[in-house]
Structure 1
Amino acid sequence: MQDPAINMAKFTHESIEDQEEEELQEEVLDFAPASLDDSLPEVEDPLREINLGTEEDPRPTFISALLKEPLKSELIALLQEFRDCFAWYYHEMPGLDRELVEHKLPIKEGYLPVK
């Protein structure tokens, strides 16, 4: 009869070899698509418009339509409480340099912008 320690050493050695073979197997990779998809991601929440202003001076903003009560009511109350912190028009931001708030795309002369 063989020594149990030898059998255990042989079993351990075989287990390590099996693990190494599994790790060395080639990984199958998918190729990148030929063109990018410009559609919106499917995970985007549907939105619900809420007015933080008045009928005469609307201040529309959007929240997730998936919000459940009481979180939805709490969020709307919070937005209404701090509605004076938001600016909808440039004249509501006195002293703000237009260089900071205007978005520009520098495009070389003779070239068209590419989407």
Structure 2
Amino acid sequence: MAEFTHESTESQEEEELQEEVLDFAPAALDDSLPEVEDPLQEINLGTEEDPRPTFISALLKEPLKNELVALLQEFKDCFAWHYHEMPGLDRELVEHKLPIKKGYLPVKQARRRMSIWTQN
């Protein structure tokens, strides 16, 4: 019959309680990120002749969805769908341009990853 001593059980418990140090997952595993966006439902805040499309989450329950659509309809004049609806706004401020020399193609850079984990 084997005897267990108090000393041997303490060392076993210490081994079990030691924190495991893990390495970061290989970058190749990060390419298949989970889908985190809600499916969208398009709603028209305008008319058939002048559509004003916007999108809301398709996962909203019916009472909340109706309230949200009513709120968007009430304040639809706060949104701009066309540039001419924003008088006084300088085009140089709102247009994004990439100056590229003639005869050259834009360079596609490799995707840069940032870790969400920090080491203390």
TM-score (norm 2): 0.61
* Separation in structure 2 between the aligned mates of residue 38 and residue 113 of structure 1, nearest angstrom: 24
Shift of 1:98: 1.4
Question: Which of structures 1 and 2 has the bigger CA Rg?
Answer: 1
> Could you say if the C-alpha distance between residues 82 and 108 of structure 1 is closer, same or farther in structure 2, counting changes exceeding 3 Å?
same
Cα RMSD of the aligned pairs, angstroms, is 5.4
Comparing 99-108 with 40-49, greater Cα deviation is found at 99-108
Q: Percent identity?
A: 91
Shift of 1:13: 14
> Could you say if the C-alpha distance between residues 13 and 90 of structure 1 is closer, same or farther in structure 2, counting changes exceeding 3 Å?
farther
* Separation in structure 1 between the aligned mates of residue 53 and residue 106 of structure 2, nearest angstrom: 31
Comparing 34-43 with 77-86, greater Cα deviation is found at 34-43
- 5+ unaligned residues in a row in structure 1: which ranges? 1-7
Shift of 1:59: 0.4
* Separation in structure 2 between the aligned mates of residue 101 and residue 74 of structure 1, nearest angstrom: 32
Identify the match of residue 103 of structure 1 among 92, 96, 105.
96
TM-score (norm 1): 0.63
Shift of 1:104: 3.2
Q: Which residue of 2 aligns with 1:21?
A: 14
Comparing 17-26 with 27-36, greater Cα deviation is found at 17-26
Instruction: Name the SS for the 2:80 alignment partner.
Output: coil
Aligned length: 108
Instruction: Name the SS for the 1:9 alignment partner.
Output: coil
Shift of 1:95: 0.3
* Separation in structure 1 between the aligned mates of residue 8 and residue 67 of structure 2, nearest angstrom: 58
